[in-house]
């Protein structure tokens, strides 16, 4: 990895900026712009619907119930709306906002217009609706004009606002128009006009990126729009039928459905101090819109236009504005993603770089979701996605071309201490050990021959060398078989490592398998003077690499964990055992391995105690004949650590009656007798200190 990084570093800048520029250009294509809009919908979906925090906004709907119950067909007589305004005034409504246009006079009954105007003027809290009309005339000339409420109503109301909405490329509504300028005059949208009325402000302060109306500073998504922070799908806001608002004790046009329900609404304060938005929700009126919550929880449902306005108004009232990420921060974010994906692609092999880039892509997605759901900030997702995709494809294409031009690396032969299969894997991955070290978690194995000094002194040198050579050959074959690496031979001692130079995930298990086979192999080759071996195994982080001087170095490992493995090999002599492993190794091997916890010890030079175990078998089945022995040993060990020496002694002596040569039980029996005669100090924690190396 380091070599590749060094070779490619000079082109990282060019590569990064080329991909960044290309991704930004591609993101301008309609297909990707449309995809970015769908991603915003996905962010809403993943964020989920929220409870209506702003309960001050309610909707009165011209719904199916009103269409069915009221005696006149839609469009309803304007006296109905006059009655509704009067009832809402009596019920204490703070503001009544119509998403219903009264832009054409009532030709058949002009008195109704005058009556509605008087009611609106008396109420003093009504906002009416107008709209922008765009007509294309001859020669393609577009004529734009404003259609206002009819003159008596426009004069009587508190103001009127535009009901036009922005539709994105795909027909969905994600932004809300704030104002529209015709000539030199600004006309405000319905919800903005409602805020102007509530705040009793004039035109406010219309800045480049903000529209300030009294207490409310509305951030702009475009020059004249803001994002709508939808609370959820259709019917999220509390909605009441127009029929139920008209149905009081004086309205007797509902026939059998007349319940005077509005009298109860007045008692319940349903509309007290509420902003009431009035609009159509019945499907047949066809005033429904596509929103980010169109498909939510496997249900496709358009939102009534009046509820779109309610969501926009609630966004302003609650100040829960959705904003684009600042331009400078967006540029910095793009640059970071571009550099990071370049490094991940050029510095790693294709499969690993693919996985890392997938993780990076997932990270960008999670960051986008977090910023949207928690901070209400939109981070464009398409440019980073294109950067990752383009970099991965072009980067790996570049590496393939370069690698085809390079000669095969000189084979660095490690066969004298590494299995040939490991060397092949190292070369296939092009990751060879170099001078220097790295910190890795490995498993270290030390194996020593019991009483080898006596054997060497009592035999001819040629015989000793031949026997030792034969022994080493068999042991090395076994270590290689389990993907181990021979670190060194020191006299009759073998030091092996598992997990380097080629990384294997189950290096602890491989080391234990090798140890079991090494012991079994010696049993198969018994001679007149058989070798008995003792093995210590530990797993932990060590420094591994070609260490030494620049003139002479060796592939080896150093660190405290190496010393612990060596101490464990020597500890076999104390416990009269064959294989001792550390707690770290125990945690890294399968649970079904046959183990016996031996002791809680402090090795020389260390203040922290560690737990050590005797490795007995590679599976539970092989332990069937020793299960009762281990159970008694475990109970004895527990009693021993609880300072119950006599109870512990009972268990250890039971074991010795069954297995007189059990070294750990003999050792603990002696310790118990010693502690009965001379108890340890009160702060004794049960740990035994190894004084020897």
381 phi/psi in degrees, rounded to 5: -95, -25
Pairing assessment for the beta strands 553-558 and 126-136 based on DSSP bridges: unpaired
pTM of the model: 0.58
Element holding 301 (H helix, E strand): none
Q: Which two tokens stand for residue 499?
A: 């997990």
- DSSP state at residue 241: E
Query: In the listed set 405, 435, 455, which residue is the last one of a domain according to the structure?
Result: 405
Taking each helix axis as running N to C, give the angle between helix 350-375 and helix 327-347, from 0 to 180 degrees, rounded to the nearest 10. Answer: 160
Predicted local confidence at residue 410, as pLDDT:
32
One domain for residues 336 and 378: yes
**Contacts of 595 by beta carbon, 8 Å cutoff, 6+ apart:** 581, 586, 613, 614, 615, 616
Residue 177 shares a structural domain with residue 229: yes
From 317, 333, 352, the end of a domain falls on: 317
Q: Which ranges of the chain have pLDDT less than 70?
A: 1-11, 52-54, 137-140, 253-256, 402-436, 523-529, 547-554, 619-625, 691-693
484 and 549, same domain (yes or no) = yes
Say yes or no: 161 and 229 in one domain: yes
DSSP class of 589: S
pLDDT, position 8 = 47
Say if CB 571 and CB 536 are below 8 A apart.
yes
Check if the beta carbon of residue 147 is closer than 8 Å to that of residue 163: no
Q: Residue 467's domain is classified under what CATH number?
A: 3.30.70.1230
Same domain for 371 and 275: no
Burial string for 640-661 (b: 16+ CB within 10 Å, else e) reads: beeeebeebbebbbbbeeeeee
CA separation for the pair 532, 519 (Å, rounded): 8
How confident is the model at residue 498, as a pLDDT? 94
Q: Do 175 and 31 belong together in one domain?
A: no
Instruction: Record the tokens describing residue 361, joined without a space.
Output: 């892509």
Is residue 273 one of the residues assigned to a domain? yes
The number of folded domains in the chain is 4
Whether 612 and 598 have beta carbons less than 8 Å apart is answered as yes
Burial 340-351 (b: 16+ CB within 10 A, else e): bbbbbbbbbeee
Sheet strands (E) in 204-354: 205-206, 210-213, 216-219, 225-227, 239-241, 275-280, 288-289, 303-304, 323-324
Q: Is residue 52 part of a domain?
A: no
Is position 597 within any domain? Answer: no
> Is residue 574 included in any domain, yes or no?
yes
On the 0-12 / 13-18 / 19+ scale of CB atoms within 10 A, 450 is middle
Q: What is the pLDDT of residue 240?
A: 94
Same domain, 76 and 202: yes
The residue among 270, 298, 317 that closes a domain is 317
504: in domain: yes
Claim to verify: residue 163 and residue 28 sit in the same structural domain: no
Cβ atoms of residues 536 and 585 within 8 Å: no
| Position 353 in a domain | yes
Whether omega for the bond prior to residue 501 falls within 30 degrees of 0, making it cis, is yes
Nearest CA-CA partner of 443 in 406, 410, 485:
485
DSSP, collapsed to helix, strand or coil, labels residue 412 as coil
Please state, as a whole number, how many other Cβ atoms lie within 10 Å of the Cβ of residue 145: 10
Within a domain: 441: yes
CB-neighbour burial class of residue 104 (10 A; exposed 0-12, middle 13-18, buried 19+): exposed
| pLDDT, tens digit, 9 for 90 and up, residues 96-112 | 999 999 999 988 888 98
What's the pLDDT score for residue 539? 95
> Same domain, yes or no, for 86 and 161?
yes
Same domain, 298 and 232: yes
Query: What pLDDT, in 10s, does the model give residues 274-300?
Result: 999 999 998 888 889 999 999 888 888
Range of the domain at 424: 420-588
Q: Do residue 333 and residue 307 come from a single domain?
A: no
Clarify whether residues 437 and 531 are in a common domain: yes
- What six digits make up the tokens of 52? 């209506």
Per-residue pLDDT, 427:
54
Inside any domain, residue 602: no
């Amino acid at each position: 990895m380091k070599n590749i990084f060094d070779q490619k570093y000079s082109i990282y800048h060019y590569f990064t900026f080329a991909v960044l520029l290309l991704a930004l250009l591609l993101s301008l294509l309609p297909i990707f712009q449309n995809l970015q809009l769908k991603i915003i919908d996905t962010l809403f979906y993943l964020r989920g619907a929220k409870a209506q925090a702003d309960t001050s906004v309610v909707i009165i709907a011209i719904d199916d119930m009103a269409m069915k119950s009221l005696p006149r067909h839609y469009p309803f007589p304007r006296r109905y709306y006059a009655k509704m305004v009067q009832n809402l005034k009596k019920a204490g409504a703070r503001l009544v906002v119509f998403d219903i246009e009264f832009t054409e006079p009532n030709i058949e009954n002009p008195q109704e217009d005058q009556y509605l105007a008087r009611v609106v003027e008396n109420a003093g809290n009504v906002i009416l609706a107008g709209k922008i009309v765009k007509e294309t005339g001859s020669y393609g000339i577009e004529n734009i004009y404003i259609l206002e409420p009819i003159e008596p109503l426009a004069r009587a109301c508190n103001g009127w606002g535009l009901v036009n909405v922005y539709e994105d490329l795909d027909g969905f509504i994600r932004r809300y128009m704030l104002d529209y300028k015709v000539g030199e005059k600004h006309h405000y949208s319905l919800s903005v006009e409602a805020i102007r009325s509530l705040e009793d402000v004039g035109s406010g302060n219309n800045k480049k990126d903000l529209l300030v109306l009294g207490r409310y500073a509305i951030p702009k998504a475009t020059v004249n729009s803001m994002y709508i922070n939808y609370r959820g799908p259709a019917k999220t806001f509390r909605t009441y039928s127009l029929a139920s608002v008209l149905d009081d004790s004086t309205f007797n046009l509902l026939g059998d459905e007349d319940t005077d329900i509005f009298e109860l609404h007045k008692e319940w304060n349903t509309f007290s101090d509420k902003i009431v938005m009035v609009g159509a929700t019945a499907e047949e009126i066809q005033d429904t819109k596509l929103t980010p919550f169109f498909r939510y929880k496997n249900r496709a449902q358009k939102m009534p236009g009046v509820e779109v306005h309610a969501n926009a108004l609630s966004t302003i009232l609650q100040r829960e504005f959705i904003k684009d990420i600042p331009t400078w921060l967006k540029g910095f974010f793009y640059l970071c993603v571009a550099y990071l994906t370049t490094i991940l692609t050029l510095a790693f092999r294709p499969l690993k770089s693919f996985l890392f880039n997938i993780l990076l892509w997932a990270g960008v997605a999670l960051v986008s979701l977090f910023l949207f759901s928690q901070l209400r900030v939109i981070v464009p997702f398409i440019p980073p996605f294109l950067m990752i995709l383009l970099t991965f494809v072009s980067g790996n294409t570049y590496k393939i071309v370069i690698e085809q031009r390079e000669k095969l690396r000189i084979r660095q032969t490690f066969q004298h201490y590494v299995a040939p299969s490991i060397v092949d894997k190292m070369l296939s991955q092009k990751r060879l050990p170099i001078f220097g070290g790295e910190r890795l978690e490995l498993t270290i194995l030390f194996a020593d021959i019991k009483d080898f000094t006596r054997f060497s002194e009592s035999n001819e040198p040629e015989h000793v060398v031949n026997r030792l050579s034969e022994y080493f050959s068999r042991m090395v074959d076994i270590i290689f078989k389990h993907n181990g690496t021979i670190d060194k031979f020191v006299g009759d001692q073998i030091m092996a490592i598992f997990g380097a130079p080629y990384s294997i995930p189950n290096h602890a298990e491989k080391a234990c398998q090798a140890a079991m086979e090494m012991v079994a192999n010696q049993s198969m080759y018994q001679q007149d003077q058989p070798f008995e071996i003792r093995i210590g195994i530990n797993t932990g982080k060590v420094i591994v690499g070609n260490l030494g001087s620049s003139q002479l170095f060796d592939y080896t490992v150093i660190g405290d964990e190496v010393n612990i493995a060596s101490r464990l090999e020597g500890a076999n002599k104390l416990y009269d055992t064959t294989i001792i492993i550390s707690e770290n190794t125990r945690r890294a091997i399968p649970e079904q391995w046959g183990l016996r916890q031996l002791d809680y010890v402090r090795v020389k030079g260390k203040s922290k105690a560690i737990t050590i175990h005797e490795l007995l078998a590679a599976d539970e089945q092989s332990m069937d004949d020793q299960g009762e022995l281990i159970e008694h040993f475990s109970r004895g060990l527990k009693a021993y650590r609880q300072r119950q020496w006599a109870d512990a002694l009972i268990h250890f002596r039971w074991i010795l009656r069954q297995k007189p040569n059990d070294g750990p039980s003999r050792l603990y029996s002696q310790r118990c007798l010693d502690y009965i005669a001379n108890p340890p100090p009160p702060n004794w924690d049960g740990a035994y200190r190894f004084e020897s190396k």
